[in-house]
Amino acid sequence: MAGHTLDDAVPPEPTISPIDRFSPVRLDASEHIAHEIRLYVERKGLKPGDRIGTENELAREFGVSRPTLREALRLLAGSHLIQVNQGRAGGIFVSATANESMGRNVSQAIATMLATKSVSLHELLEARIYLEVPLAGLAAENAGKETVAEMESAIEAAEGNEPASDEFRMADTRFHRAIADAAGNDLMVAFTSWILEVLQPSLVAYMGPSLEADDILSQHRRILRAIRRGQPAAAQRAMLQHIEHVRRVVRKLDAERAKSG
């Protein structure tokens, strides 16, 4: 029986000149294609919403069948890097930067671990110390007036609200995100996105009214003061004290619930 070739799968169209954006397919075709598209997005600095092409265009460029291409696109969509839109104006579009995509994957994995009890709040808080304390120091070295203003605004937005409220939680997220963004290390931001997306909501749900808003805001003001003054060591110390305070509250709640349970 005659074998099928790549040319049989996707007939060449001589009217369209090849665009050498990608290297030739080797090994597992779908994984190779996914890797090449990731590199292309990074190399070109494409942003969310930017168009990469259509299925037909990419299948021709890679010289593969559309089912093979679709498997590669499935891998990329699963990692949140691209989205495929149907219709006349459809195509393959960037849905997140590489760092954002990685951050979402980490957040999803940790959320699953937390839901299945394969990791505890205590373990996540311990990990948070090793990630967010250095970020506070970097923020103190790099923060400008805009970062300080955003942190001040977040503290003001939280005032007068209970820690379990949506208003306080959103302001708290703004405060910590400003620190992460000011650190100037996109990889660290990607690795710590789970703190805001997974850990913080879980802590609020667990601790509820056990947290005192005045305590949290006082700690936030100490972190802000150190960052505003450009004092990395003081910023790290203030962040550590803040996280340790949350750990103490969680331990106290654990003990109380163990007695009553």
Which class in CATH covers the domain with range 6-96?
mainly alpha
| Tens digits of residue pLDDT in 132-141 | 999 999 999 9
Q: Quote the CA–CA distance of 75 and 229 in Å, as a whole number.
A: 45
Q: Please state which of the ranges 4-13, 47-56, 179-188, 241-250 shows the lowest mean pLDDT.
A: 4-13
C-alpha distances in Å from residue 240, one per residue of 32, 46, 154, 163 = 43, 37, 20, 19
Residue 9, pLDDT > 70, answer no
- Give the tens place of pLDDT for each residue, 26-46: 558 888 899 899 889 888 888
pLDDT (average), residues 76-93: 85
Per-residue pLDDT at 48 exceeds 60: yes
Domain covering 119-260, topology? Four Helix Bundle (Hemerythrin (Met), subunit A) (1.20.120)
Answering whether pTM is above 0.85, one says no
- Residue 26: predicted pLDDT: 57
Per-residue buried b or exposed e for 121-134, using 16+ beta carbons within 10 Å of the residue's own CB: beebbebbeeebbb
* Predicted local confidence at residue 5, as pLDDT: 43
> How far apart, in whole angstroms, are the C-alpha atoms of residue 222 and residue 181?
19
Q: What's the pLDDT tens digit per position in 178-230? A: 999 998 888 888 888 899 889 988 998 888 778 899 999 999 999 999 999 99
Domain extent listing, the chain: 6-96, 119-260
- Mean pLDDT of all residues belonging to the chain: 87
